[in-house]
Amino acid sequence: MDTGQNIVTDKTPSALFLVLTVNDGGEDAVRDGIEGLDGIVTTVSSRFPDATLTAIIGIGSQAWDRLFSGPRPAELHPFIELTGEVHTAPSTPGDVLLHIKSSRPDLTFEVGRLWTATLGDAVSTVDETHGFRYFDMRDLTGFVDGTENPAGADAVATITVDADTDPDFAGGSYVAVQKYVTDLAAWNALPVPDQEDAFGRSKFENVEMADDVKPTNAHTALTNLPDVDGEAQEILRDNMPFGDVAGDGEKGTYFIAYSKTPEITEVMLRNMFIGDPEGNHDRLLDFTTAITGTQFFAPSAQFLADLPPAPSAADEEPEPEPEPDGSLGIGSLR
């Protein structure tokens, strides 16, 4: 079976998230960059062999057929914008995602610097976010982030496309990213018991509330999906806080979710923004705003080591992608 990229790791103290678009005529340079990424990581790692360093690359739906001939991941499509009665999850541009993780921020910076230098004007930067670990893996709200993450073999199974589902892309993972900007002044003015109601967990002890006392609009009430046929519907979050300290600079949480199918993440986001039932949106969204939203496919290591040929001029133009209907196919999960 194809093995995935090195996604399941211990939480690192630093991360760099790069979202890029491929400029017209930049496809060959991006393919070369994809092939050369592993060498850059190896070179930087060799200087500090005891430091954790890994880089994961994802390709967006609109770029896939510009970069590769042949089949495409079965469920790869653009991020679905969600517009609720109060809050919106926007869909924003993004052809390539680079997620770099390290125990040292200088190493994440160095890999990002060297790799983007190889791409030059073949790409444009949509977003560059430097994340950091905040105390005992809390986000800037003061709550522990990623509590519900699976671990070990369960984590691998959670994020890995299997051969029965999509044999051409076994070992890969779907990945969604959103950048959330938090109104910390408004959040910090909220009494701690009200903050705990918004999360559905205690702030300091990180203990989840019992279902009979947890508010229906608590974050954990809307994002913890029921099992289907005895199988947990989970994602692997690798979120990181980010921010500027002075003035009104942006600060918040960079959300990144890996999964074996994008449908699970989409149902969670639908519950948050549209509500379950409709109108019962996630209370956290009253304090934090999604300003980006993009979806990618992170292929297996074997795929990246032996890329399919580039599309030729003789290839037929791909059919236009149908607009997502917003239903998210949630009938199969609920």
pLDDT tens track for 85-123: 999 999 999 999 999 999 999 999 999 999 999 999 999
* pLDDT of res. 334: 41
Distance CA 12, CA 191 (A): 31
Higher pLDDT, 248 or 314: 248
Mean pLDDT of all residues in 282-297: 98
Range from 144-153, 206-215, 312-321 that averages highest in pLDDT: 206-215
Interatomic CA distance for residues 76 and 12, integer angstroms: 28
51 CB-near residues (< 8 Å, 6+ apart): 45, 102, 103, 104, 107
Q: What is the pLDDT of residue 227?
A: 85
Of these residues, 95, 145, 197, 282, which one is catalytic? Answer: 145
* Nearest residue to 299 via CA among 125, 64, 91: 64
DSSP state of 10: P
To the nearest whole percent, how much of the chain has pLDDT over 90?
86
pLDDT for 330 equals 46
Band of residue 331 on the pLDDT scale cut at 50, 70, 90 = very low
Residue of 64, 170, 139, 48 whose CA lies nearest to 102: 48
- Using 50, 70 and 90 to split pLDDT, how confident is the model at 320? low
CB 317 within 8 A of CB 93: no
Query: How many residues in the chain?
Result: 334
Distance, in Å, from the CA atom of 168 to the CA atom of 292, rounded to the nearest integer, reads 30
Three-state secondary-structure class, residue 282? coil
The pLDDT value given to residue 312: 86
Helices within 52-139 (DSSP H only): 61-67, 105-119
Residue holding tokens 């018991």? 193
Please confirm, yes or no, whether 145 is among the known catalytic residues. Answer: yes
Task: Report the candidate in 62, 58, 23, 19 with the shortest Cα–Cα distance to residue 37.
Answer: 58
Read off the pLDDT band of 2 (50, 70, 90): low
Question: Is the alpha carbon torsion for 134, 138, 142, 145 positive or negative?
Answer: positive
Measure the CA–CA gap between 239 and 155, rounded to whole angstroms.
15
Kindly report the backbone phi and psi dihedral angles of residue 289, in degrees, each rounded to the nearest multiple of 5, phi listed first.
Answer: -115, 130
pLDDT tier at 148, thresholds 50, 70, 90: confident
Q: What are the C-alpha distances in Å from 178 to residues 132, 266, 296?
A: 16, 12, 12
pLDDT band at 322 (very low <50, low <70, confident <90, very high): low
